[in-house]
Amino acid sequence: MTFVLALAASALMAEPARRPEFQSAKIIQTVSPVFPESLVAVCRNGGQARVVLSVDADGRLNEWLVISHTRREFAEAAVSALREWSFEPARLRGEAVSVSIELTFHFEVRGDVTVSFYIDEQGAVRMPYVLGQPNLELADLAVEAVRQWKFEPPTRQGRPVLVHAQQLFRFNRATAPKG
């Protein structure tokens, strides 16, 4: 299908007045799939779900089938989102037609967490706590990381001192379906 779409795009560029033979269905993502919070600590590298869906000539989602997933919760999150989506039907020679679409949803951890903590006179991390109200699973991961850090003892005028520090953790990968 990619080859056919590439040919249609080339034909459009060569002859702008000509209508392509086939136009894919359009997916209108009204909500985004959400990484299941229960999996943040156990699936730090994310996961995926592959779903085949059927869109009829009226642009309605007829059915879907999960064909693979790394965890059941990723499949459930993908289906939950796509059931909320709207669709415009595919067109063949201008006529609306039913199609099947295979989507792969890639789930990755996302979010920012700021950890505030103290570095004592021996260079140990003390009293780490999270600022704001981030995702609890990400907050736990960030605090646990900070607890493992060791520093050179901070000094002022050559003497060890207690200092306050903050660290921003950016879990910045997004969840996205790929067609």
Q: What is the DSSP string of 87-129?
A: EE-EEETTEEE-EEEEEEEEE--EEEEEEEEEE-TTSBEEEEE
Contact at 8 Å (CB) between 49 and 78? yes
More confident residue, 45 or 168: 168
Q: State the pLDDT confidence band at 111, using cuts at 50, 70 and 90.
A: confident
Q: Does domain 111-173 have CATH number 3.40.50.620?
A: no
What CATH number does the domain located at 2-108 have?
3.30.2420.10
- Tell me if 35 sits within 8 A of 110, measured CB to CB: yes
Which residue spans of the chain are classified as CATH 3.30.2420.10?
Answer: 2-108, 111-173
Alpha-carbon span 91 to 20, nearest angstrom: 9
Angle at 138 (CA atoms; ends 133, 139), nearest 5 degrees: 50
- Give per-residue pLDDT as tens, 47-75: 999 999 999 999 999 999 999 999 999 99
pLDDT band at 165 (very low <50, low <70, confident <90, very high): very high
State the pLDDT confidence band at 175, using cuts at 50, 70 and 90: very low
Q: What three-state secondary structure class fits 147?
A: helix
